[in-house]
C-alpha cells in the first residue's frame, strides 16, 4: 500500500480536472435508464422472495453490488449492455446442505418459472444473467454465508470449478467507500474549489442545473478508467480487464489525492510497479486480492489466459504515456486533442462547448444582476447602462404589470413631439430614427444595454398627454406577466403613482433608460425565471387602458 498523501491547505480544480468531472458525469446512468434498472431489479427480487420451495427458507437478503453499490456507474459504450449486479444472499446452513451447482440451478429454476424471464436467461460461470433488450442485463449472484459469525463473507458457486469460491460483496463495498472517503479538511478544500470553479452561489439562480455534482475523486477516477478501458478494447472486448480489477487497483493505489488526473497517473504507476517480467520479457500475472476476502483473487483469469494480462499491461503502458502528455501539455488545444483520442471527438467537443456556455451564463448572470443592484444607474449615449456617472442619470421606477393607467388629456401638438425628438437626438445621437405622424412621435432604434446582452430593436410611440408606448420589434418576445409585457407586446416600465407623466417629462431621461433596464432584467429572467427589477404590486391599480391613436 502506498503512503497516504494528504493535501496541503490549498487546492484548485484545474481545467483538466473540470473536464474530467464533466466526462465522468456524462457517463453516469441517466435518470430514465436508472429508473428502468431499479424497477427491474425490484421485480426480480420480489419474484425470488415469493418462491415457495427452496428460497422460502434459505433467503437472507437481496442487495446490489458492483458499480451500482459504490456509485461508479458508466453508460454502455457504443450500444454494449449496461451490467447491473446484485446478490441473492442465502443462509449459512444452505451451503452445508447443498453443493455449489445445485444452488445455482435452484436460482435458474426459479427465474425460468417466470413467463418474462425464462426467455431472457443466460447461464454464466458464477451467476444467472437476465438480458433486457440490448439495454442492460442483470447478473444475479447467489451465495451462501461462509461463517455464522460473519454475515458479509459468502461462498459463491463456480461452474468451471464445480465448487464454491469465496466472495464478500458487502465488505468490498464498505472497503471501497472507506478508500474513497476524503478527510474533512481536504473535503472542505475540494468543496470550496468546486464552488469557486462552478460559481455555485451565482449558479443556484439559473434554471439550468449545475453541470456536475461534487463527488469523491476516487469514484470519478474509476468512472474515467472504465471508459478508457472500453474505448481501448472496443475491437477486442474479450481482452478487456474487468471493472472489479480496475476498481480494486485504483482503490489500492489511491493516496487521497483530490485531483482526478493525479489519481489516474498514480494508478498507472502503481499498477506497473506490480508487474514483473520473466526471462523472455513477458509480463507475469499478479494477484488482485479482494480486500474484504483475500482468498478471492479478482485476477484469477490472468494465470489461465496470460494473453489477457499482457493486453492489460499494454493498456496501462499506453495510458501512462498518453496521460503524461495530457498532464504536461501547456497548450489547451493539444490537451483537448489528446482527450478526444481517448474519449471520442464528439464527447469532448460537446463537453468543451458546455464548459464555455456554462461559464458565460454564470458570468453574465453575475454581471447583469450586479448592474441592476447598483445604488444608482446611468445611461451612456450608446444606451448602455453603467454605474458610473454620465449626463443621463436613471430615474427611480418600479415595473408594473397590472391594468394600464388612464391617459390624461391628449394634446395633438407637434411642438411637444419636436421637444422630445430634440432631447432624444441630444442624448443618443443617431441611435433612434424619429418621425411625427399626426402629432404622434414614433422613434425606432437598436439598443444593446450591455456587452453581455444581445441587440434589440425597439419602437417608442408617444402622444402628448400620455406615457409612451414601448414595443420590442426584434427579436419577437412572447408576452408573459412575469416580464411586465402586456398582451399587445407593449412594456409596462413604470407604476404611474410613482411617476406622473407630463408634457415636460423627457423620454430620453426616463423611458429610454428604463427600456435598457427592462432589457437587462429580461436577459436575467431568461436565465433564472426571476425578475430582478423593482416591481409594484399588480393589484395596486384597477384603472384600465386608453389605446394609443
Question: What digits encode the pLDDT tens for the residues 439-488?
Answer: 889 999 999 999 999 999 999 999 887 889 999 999 999 998 889 998 89
- The pLDDT mean for the chain works out to 90
Question: Does 285 lie in the same domain as 150?
Answer: no
Q: Which long-range contacts (CB under 8 A, 24 or more apart) does 331-340 make?
A: 332/15, 335/16, 339/19
Domain boundary among 161, 177, 193: 177
Query: Residue 541: what pLDDT?
Result: 37
Q: Are residues 112 and 255 in the same domain?
A: no
DSSP code of residue 29: P
What pLDDT is stored for residue 174 in this prediction? 96
pLDDT of residue 467: 87
From 56-60, 135-139, 305-309, 401-405, the region with the lowest mean pLDDT:
401-405
Output DSSP code: residue 539: G
Assess whether pLDDT exceeds 70 at residue 545.
Answer: no
Q: Which three cell numbers stand for residue 466?
A: 400620455
Whether 411 shows a pLDDT value over 60: the answer reads no
Helix (H, G, I), strand (E, B) or coil at 70: helix
Rounded to whole angstroms, how far apart are CA atoms 532 and 536?
Answer: 12
pLDDT at 2: 45
- Helices 306-328 and 217-232: angle between axes, nearest 10 degrees: 120
Q: Please list, residue by residue across 51-69, b when 16 or more beta carbons sit within 10 angstroms of its beta carbon and e when fewer do.
A: beebbeebbbebbbbbbbb
Q: Are 394 and 294 in the same domain?
A: no
User: How many CB atoms are closer than 10 A to CB 536?
Assistant: 20
**Three-state DSSP string of 9-24:** CCCCCCHHHHHHHHHH
Going by the DSSP 8-state scheme, the letter that residue 466 receives in this structure is: S
% residues pLDDT > 90 (the chain): 74
- Whether residue 230 is predicted with pLDDT greater than 80 in this model: the reply is yes
Q: Is the peptide bond before 59 cis (omega within 30 degrees of 0)?
A: no
Q: Would you say residue 149 has pLDDT above 60? A: yes
Same domain, 203 and 346: yes
pLDDT higher than 90, residue 92: yes
Whether the per-residue pLDDT at 406 is higher than 50: the answer is: no
Evaluate whether residue 542 is within a structural domain.
no
CA dist 117 and 301 (Å) reads 29
Q: Are residues 330 and 202 in the same domain?
A: yes
Distance set, CA 3 to CA 183, 253, 437 (Å): 15, 9, 84
CA-CA distance, 86 to 37, in Å (whole number)?
11
In a domain, 537, yes or no: no
Is residue 3, in this structure, part of any structural domain at all? no
Residue where a domain stops, chosen among 300, 331, 360: 360
Model confidence at 405: pLDDT above 90: no
- Please, are residues 233 and 245 in contact by the beta-carbon 8 Å criterion? no
Do the Cβ atoms of 450 and 462 come closer than 8 Å? Answer: no
Q: Residue 365 in contact with residue 202, Cβ under 8 Å?
A: yes
Is the predicted pLDDT of residue 410 greater than 60, yes or no? no
CATH number of the domain residue 127 falls in: 3.30.460.90
Q: Is residue 210 included in any domain, yes or no? A: yes
C-alpha distances in Å from residue 465, one per residue of 411, 488, 503: 6, 21, 6
Is residue 252 domain-shared with residue 300, that is, in the same domain? Answer: yes
β-bridge mates for residue 155, sequence order? 144, 166
* Segment 259-284 mean pLDDT: 96
Please choose, from the candidates 324, 263, 348, the residue with its C-alpha nearest in 3D space to the C-alpha of residue 23: 348
User: CA-based Rg of the chain, rounded to a whole angstrom?
Assistant: 34
Number of H helices, E strands in the chain: 18, 18
* Beta-carbon contacts of residue 465 (< 8 Å; ≥ 6 apart): 407, 408, 409, 410, 411, 503
* Confidence bin at 400 (pLDDT 50/70/90): low
Q: Is residue 306 part of a domain?
A: yes
Q: What is the four-CA torsion angle of 45, 50, 51, 57, rounded to 10 degrees?
A: 100
Lowest mean pLDDT among 3-12, 61-70, 175-184, 335-344: 3-12
Q: What is the spatial distance between Cα 179 and Cα 263, in angstroms, rounded to a whole number?
A: 12
Cα-to-chain-centroid distance, residue 237: 29
Q: How many domains does the chain have?
A: 3
Domain co-membership, 326 together with 383: no
* 7 within domain boundaries: no
As a whole number of angstroms, the distance between CA 470 and CA 461 comes to: 6
C-alpha cell at 305: 489466459
Q: Is position 49 within any domain?
A: yes
3-state SS of 400-442? CCCCCCCCCCCCCCHHHHHHHHHHHHHHHCCCEEEEEECCEEE
SS3 528: helix
Q: Rounded to an integer, what distance in angstroms lies between the CA atom of residue 502 and that of residue 127? A: 85
Same domain for 137 and 212:
no
Are residues 187 and 214 in contact, defined by beta-carbon separation less than 8 angstroms? no
Instruction: Supply the pLDDT for residue 163.
Output: 94
What is the C-alpha to C-alpha distance for residues 503 and 467, in angstroms, rounded to an integer? 9
Counting residues of the chain whose pLDDT is more than 70, the rounded percentage is 93
546 part of a folded domain: no
Is 342 found in the same domain as 252?
Answer: yes
Query: pLDDT tens across 501-511, in order?
Result: 887 889 999 99
The Cα diameter of the chain in Å comes to 107
Average pLDDT over residues 106-126: 94
Of residues 438 and 65, more confidently modeled = 65
Give yes or no for residue 546 having a pLDDT over 50.
Answer: no
Give the position of cell 478527510. 183
Domain boundary among 309, 330, 360: 360
Kindly report, residue by residue over 308-321, the tens digit of the pLDDT: 999 999 999 999 99
Whether 416 and 334 share a structural domain: no
Q: Mean pLDDT, to the nearest integer, of 406-412?
A: 50
Q: Please state the rounded mean pLDDT for residues 335-354.
A: 93
Domain that holds residue 300: 15-20+178-360
pLDDT at 356 > cutoff 70: yes
How far is 179 from 164, CA to CA, in rounded Å? 28
State which H helix or E strand residue 47 sits in.
helix 31-49
Picking from 75-79, 431-435, 439-443, which range would have the lowest pLDDT averaged per residue? 75-79
Judge if 211 and 329 occupy the same domain. Answer: yes
Verify that 52 and 139 share a domain, yes or no.
Answer: yes
Within a 10 A sphere around the Cβ of 470, how many other Cβ atoms?
Answer: 23
Angle subtended at Cα 365 by Cα 400 and Cα 377, rounded to the nearest 5 degrees: 55
User: What gap in Å lies between CA 267 and CA 249, rounded to an integer?
Assistant: 7
- What is the Cβ-side half-sphere exposure of residue 538, based on CA atoms within 13 angstroms? 10
Model confidence at 323: pLDDT above 90 = yes
> Residue 206 pLDDT > 50, yes or no?
yes
Amino acid at each position: 500500500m502506498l503512503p497516504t498523501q494528504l493535501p496541503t491547505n490549498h487546492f484548485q480544480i484545474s481545467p483538466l480536472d473540470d473536464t474530467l468531472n464533466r466526462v465522468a458525469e456524462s457517463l453516469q446512468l441517466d435518470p430514465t435508464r436508472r429508473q428502468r434498472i431499479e424497477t427491474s431489479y425490484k421485480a426480480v427480487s420480489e419474484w425470488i422472495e415469493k418462491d415457495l420451495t427452496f428460497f422460502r427458507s434459505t433467503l437472507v437478503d437481496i442487495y446490489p453490488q458492483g458499480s451500482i453499490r459504490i456509485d461508479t456507474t458508466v453508460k454502455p459504450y457504443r450500444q454494449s449492455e449496461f451490467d447491473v449486479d446484485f446478490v441473492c444472499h442465502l443462509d449459512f446452513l444452505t451451503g452445508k446442505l447443498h453443493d455449489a451447482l445445485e444452488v445455482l440451478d435452484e436460482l435458474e429454476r426459479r427465474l425460468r418459472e417466470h413467463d418474462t424471464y425464462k426467455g431472457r436467461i443466460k447461464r454464466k460461470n458464477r451467476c444467472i444473467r437476465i438480458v433486457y433488450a440490448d439495454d442492460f442485463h442483470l447478473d444475479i449472484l447467489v451465495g451462501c454465508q461462509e461463517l455464522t459469525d460473519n454475515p458479509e463473507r459468502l461462498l459463491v458457486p463456480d461452474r468451471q470449478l464445480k465448487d464454491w469460491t469465496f466472495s464478500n460483496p458487502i465488505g468490498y463495498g464498505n472497503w471501497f467507500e472507506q478508500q474513497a472517503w476524503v478527510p474533512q479538511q481536504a473535503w472542505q478544500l475540494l468543496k470550496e474549489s468546486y464552488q469557486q470553479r462552478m460559481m455555485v452561489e451565482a449558479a443556484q439562480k439559473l434554471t439550468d442545473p449545475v453541470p456536475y455534482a461534487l463527488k469523491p475523486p476516487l469514484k470519478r477516477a474509476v468512472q474515467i478508467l472504465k471508459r478508457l478501458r472500453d474505448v481501448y478494447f472496443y475491437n477486442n472486448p474479450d481482452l478487456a480487464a474487468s471493472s472489479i480489477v480496475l476498481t480494486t487497483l485504483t482503490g489500492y493505489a489511491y493516496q487521497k489525492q483530490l485531483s482526478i488526473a493525479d489519481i489516474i497517473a498514480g494508478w498507472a504507476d502503481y499498477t506497473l510497479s506490480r508487474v514483473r517480467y520473466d526471462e523472455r520479457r513477458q509480463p507475469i500475472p499478479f494477484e488482485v486480492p479482494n480486500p474484504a476476502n483475500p482468498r478471492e483473487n479478482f485476477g484469477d483469469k490472468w494465470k489461465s489466459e496470460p494473453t489477457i494480462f499482457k493486453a492489460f499491461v499494454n493498456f496501462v503502458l499506453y495510458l501512462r504515456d498518453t496521460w503524461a502528455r495530457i498532464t504536461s501539455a501547456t497548450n489547451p488545444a493539444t490537451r483537448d486533442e489528446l482527450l478526444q483520442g481517448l474519449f471520442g471527438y464528439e464527447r469532448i467537443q460537446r463537453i468543451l462547448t458546455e464548459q464555455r456556455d456554462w461559464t458565460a451564463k454564470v458570468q453574465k448572470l453575475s454581471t447583469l444582476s450586479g448592474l441592476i443592484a447598483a445604488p444608482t444607474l446611468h445611461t451612456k449615449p450608446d444606451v448602455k447602462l453603467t454605474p458610473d456617472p454620465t449626463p443621463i442619470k436613471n430615474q427611480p421606477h418600479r415595473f408594473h404589470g397590472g391594468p394600464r393607467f388612464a391617459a390624461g388629456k391628449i394634446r395633438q401638438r407637434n411642438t411637444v413631439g419636436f421637444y422630445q425628438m430634440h432631447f432624444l437626438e441630444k442624448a443618443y445621437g443617431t441611435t433612434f430614427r424619429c418621425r411625427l405622424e399626426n402629432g404622434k412621435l414614433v422613434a425606432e432604434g437598436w439598443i444593446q444595454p450591455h456587452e453581455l446582452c444581445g441587440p434589440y430593436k425597439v419602437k417608442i410611440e408617444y402622444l402628448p398627454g400620455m406615457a409612451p408606448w414601448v414595443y420590442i420589434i426584434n427579436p419577437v418576445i412572447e408576452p408573459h406577466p412575469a416580464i411586465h409585457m402586456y398582451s399587445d407586446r407593449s412594456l409596462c416600465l413604470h407604476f404611474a403613482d410613482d411617476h406622473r407623466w407630463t408634457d415636460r417629462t423627457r423620454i430620453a431621461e426616463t423611458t429610454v433608460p428604463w427600456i435598457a433596464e427592462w432589457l437587462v432584467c429580461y436577459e436575467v429572467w431568461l436565465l433564472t425565471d426571476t425578475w430582478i427589477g423593482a416591481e409594484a404590486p399588480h393589484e395596486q391599480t384597477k384603472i384600465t387602458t386608453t389605446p394609443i391613436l
